[in-house]
Amino acid sequence: MNLYPNAAELLRAVAALLDDEVMPAVPAELAHKVRVASNVARIVGRECELAEPAANAERLALAGLLGHDGPLAELRSELSARLRHGDPALEHEAWRVAVEVTRQELAVVKPGHDRWEGK
């Protein structure tokens, strides 16, 4: 598919519409929903640009931990099950990988949230 403009560009346009033109025109009880919708459009826009490389990195990291490759969803479930039932040998490295994966997710859903590394 050669679609132009691309998804991220269109979602930015949708978010701008919601912020600049829809927001001032909606009744107060709708404002929160419109704000959330605009944020969702921005999140999905970032996802369009970041998801693919992030998913590859995640799959490689999980495959490294588990010692075999596979579809990402299956690797996630397998690692979660092993951690859930207690696999101390895996935990330290799994924590490190989870931090990296979560950083990638935050770059999509909440950029900057990972700047605070305290409790």
Partner 1 sequence: MTPGPVGADGADLAEGLTKVLSETWGTEVEVANLAASSAGARRRNVAFDATPSGLPAAELVVTVVPRGALGLNSVTAEAQMRRTARDHGVPVPEVVVASEDESTLGGPFFISERVAGETVPRRVLRLVHETGIGELLAGQLGTALARLHRIDPADAPDGMLDPGARPPSEAALEDLETSMRELGVLDRPALALGMRWLERRLPGTPDRLSVVHTDVRNGNLIVGADGLRAVLDWEGARRHGDPMEDLAWPALRMWRFREDRFEVGGFAAREPLVDAYLAAGGDFDEERMEWWKVLGTLRWAVGLYAQASAHLSGTFPSIIMAASGRRVAEMEWDLLMLIRP
Could you list the residues that contact partner 1 (CB under 8 A)?
27-29, 32-33, 36-37, 39-40, 43, 73, 76-77, 79-81, 83-84, 86, 91-92, 94-95, 97-99, 101-103, 105-106, 108-110, 113-114, 116-119
Closer Cβ to partner 1, 52 or 74, answer by number: 74
DSSP state of 114: G
Q: Which three-class secondary structure state does DSSP give residue 116?
A: coil
Closer Cβ to partner 1, 23 or 98, answer by number: 98
CA distance 89 to 5: 48
Closer Cβ to partner 1, 21 or 29, answer by number: 29
Residue 109 makes CB contacts below 8 A (sequence gap 6+) with: 43
